[in-house]
Amino acid sequence: MEEVRIGVYVCWCGNNIAKMVDVEDVSREMETLPNVVISRDYKYMCSDPGQDLIISDVKKHKLNRVVVAACSPRIHELTFRKALENAGLNPYMFQMANIREHVSWVHRSRENATKKAKSLVAAAINRIQWHEALNKRSVEIDPATLIVGGGISGISAALEIADSGKQVYLVEKTSQLGGYAAQIDLISPFMYNAAQLINPKIEHVYIHPNIKVFLNTQIEEISGYIGNFETKITNSENQSIELKFGNIILAIGLSTFNPSKIQNYKYGIIPDVVTSLELEQVLKSGKILTNDGNVPQNIAIIHCVGSRNSNYHEYCSRLCCKNALKYSNLVRSAIPDANIFEIYADMRAMGNGCEELYSATSLKNVMFLMFDQKNGLPEVREASSKDNCKMLIEFDEKLSGERIEVPADLVILMVAKEAHKEAKKLAQTVGISMCGNQFFIERHPKLDPVATTTDGIYVVGSCQAPKDIPDSVAQARAAAARILGTINKGSVEVEVTTAKVNEDTCCGCQTCISVCPYTAISFDEEKQVSVVNEVLCKGCGTCGSACPTGAIRSQHFTDRQILSQIKGLLDKSFELQEG
């Protein structure tokens, strides 16, 4: 093995570290440790002069490893790896000790903070002895994209990508495109006609030379990895077709809550209790009528059916309040003298124009009555012949504190939006995660709401969380832009800190295969050893901790590296004093 020559750099971070940690003392003491050729402290290691210091030392002192004690590696690890590359070193010959977030900012005693800093840096020095150079790998990107789901999200993404001249395969489970948006009449709050908005888009998709639409088609299996996925689909003529593509967009939309689960509402028992989606069909027909063909005089709209209730879905479905307000407005113009009741738990009409719609609705002689989810839900029952209405809805009205009865001839249930029934199956097919409510999880809830933790797979629209049309379209186009970016680049870099098998010590027990979450390990029957597909491996290291012979190594997190780090951390000379 080549001689190990380590450079250690202790950052002051202005005063952020230096105030609580005696950085000069740390630096001095580190210089006495084995293989440390040079140790320095400097005001701002991440600054250009700080990085230049490393680069010139690497050259001057023939350093082959660099330890920086500074902030969290989550912030500057990449910065310093780049600096190492500039100095002609492999970027993985680097280790950071976090003495800011984990030391100077969280402790009170300078003496102990300094000791702890020393032990963290010593651990990094110990660890880095065993670092190995790892080489960047990239894979080529197949320029085609698979989009699963032909609703407004899938359509928007498809057009965005296809218009840039790239191939799209759009797979839709039902017999038509348009999804949820195609089922509704007018779109709240600005009352655009949904059909007028979406039909031209659908037409455009069908005739687009770069989009191939597969209706009545389901995805059974997807194999591969970013840049190189493939699937077999069966089309309506029962032909099996093989598709290859580099990226995937999941846009399967949502399902709605089945309100017969809440017995209070008598859905499925009294025919004039309908869901919001069923009402859309009524509205499309142009006439609001009861089941027996009469014009209803009393219309009640019940909110939060299955939403914001821990017995059903704890979350807010986000779209219902503004739709409920839409119904009040549409009923008011269709039946000017009707009594309209909005029976709500909380009014959450958010987004552009929605609060305005709420204010406008409240001026239209609509009764807003509040119920308390925790205090029992409204109870719908058939009225008696002397009641002059078809149904009565009884509940504790929260604002007045009284138990009241509301007459109704038509009850509209604002049903919760829930994850698509096929979401779980699809998540398992493609290998992405779902949240507890079975919506797909994005890579980062704040900073990366489009990608998933599996490279090359994106989630858009309501399969990630209930969304309205503008939000769905925005997310769809964002995913399209991301994909076009990688296609234009032609290739992407993939994880290099993958697992690696030592064929000599692998005993062929296949334990690693059973624990791998990515099916990245297969078994070579001939050699009787495990083989890692480096492109599929994400470097979690689970196989490394399960392997009984130590034959499988998590690169950059090897047993040896971590065990040395532990030893350095527990070095007696940095033991703490009574604080």
* Minimum separation from the CB atom of position 121 to another protein (A): 11
402 DSSP β-pair partners:
397
CA distance 576 to 129: 25
> Binder to another protein among 35, 79, 90, 112 (CB under 8 A)?
112
CB of 438 to another protein, least distance (A): 11
Which residue of 35, 79, 234, 542 would you call a contact of another protein, by CB under 8 A? 542
Query: With contacts defined by CB under 8 A, how many residues of the chain interact with another protein?
Result: 51
Residue type, 117: A
577 binds another protein (CB under 8 A): yes
Instruction: Compute the chain's Rg from CA coordinates.
Output: 31
Interface residue with another protein among 24, 25, 101, 230 (CB under 8 A) is 101
Chain residues 144-163 in contact with another protein, contact rule CB under 8 A: none
The residue range among 174-182, 312-320, 409-417, 567-575 that interacts with another protein, by the rule CB under 8 A, is: 567-575
Any idea what the Cα angle at residue 459 is, between residues 315 and 304, rounded to 5°? 20
Q: Find the shortest distance in angstroms from Cβ 458 to another protein.
A: 17
Site string for another protein, 53-92 (x = CB under 8 A): -------------------xxx------------------
By beta-carbon proximity to another protein, the closer residue of 55 and 532 is: 532
Write out the two tokens for 76: 């500057």
β-strand pairing of 222-225 with 211-214: unpaired
CB contact set of 293 (below 8 Å; sequence gap of 6+): none
- Which window, 26-34, 232-240, 344-352, 539-547, contacts another protein (CB under 8 A)? 539-547
Q: 3-class DSSP state for residue 474?
A: helix
Of the pair 381, 560, the CB lying nearest another protein is at 560
Query: Segment near another protein (CB under 8 A), from 22-30, 313-321, 475-483, 564-572?
Result: 564-572
Figure out which of the listed residues 257, 538, 551, 552 binds another protein, where binding follows CB under 8 A. 538
Q: What are phi and psi of 130, to 5 degrees?
A: -100, 5
Q: Please tell me what DSSP assigns to residue 434.
A: B
Dig out the tokens for 520 from the structure.
């990245």
Question: Shortest Cβ distance from residue 114 to another protein (Å)?
Answer: 10
Phi, psi of 492 (to 5 degrees): -130, 150
Please state whether beta strands 339-344 and 366-370 pair in parallel, antiparallel, or not at all (unpaired). Answer: parallel
Residue 75's contacts (CB-CB under 8 Å, 6 or more residues apart) are none
Q: Contacting another protein (CB under 8 A), which of 8, 45, 113, 162?
A: 113
Tally: H helices and E strands in the chain: 14, 30
With a CB cutoff of 8 Å and minimum separation 6, the contacts of 388 are 407
Binding flag, residue 123, another protein (CB under 8 A): yes
Is residue 559 at the binding interface for another protein, with CB under 8 A as the rule? yes
Q: Which is nearer to another protein, 398 or 560 (CB)?
A: 560
CA distance 492 to 486: 7
Nearest CB to another protein, comparing residues 396 and 559? 559
For residue 453, state whether it binds another protein (rule: CB under 8 A): yes
Distance CA 511, CA 507 (A): 10
Least separation in angstroms between CB 578 and another protein: 5
**In contact, 235 and 241? CB cutoff 8 Å:** yes
| Contact flags string 476-505 toward another protein, x per CB under 8 A | ---------------------x--------
Are 43 and 78 contacting, i.e. CB atoms less than 8 angstroms apart? no
Burial 209-241, CB ≥16 within 10 A → b, else e: ebbbbbeebebeebebbbbbbebebeeeeeeee
The yes or no reply on residue 579 touching another protein (CB under 8 A) is yes
Determine, following the binding rule CB under 8 A, whether residue 554 of this chain makes contact with another protein. yes
**Residue ranges in contact with another protein by CB under 8 A:** 72-74, 98, 100-103, 105-109, 112-113, 116, 119-120, 123, 433, 435-436, 453, 497, 515, 517-518, 538-542, 544-546, 554, 557, 559, 562-563, 565-567, 569-570, 572, 575-579
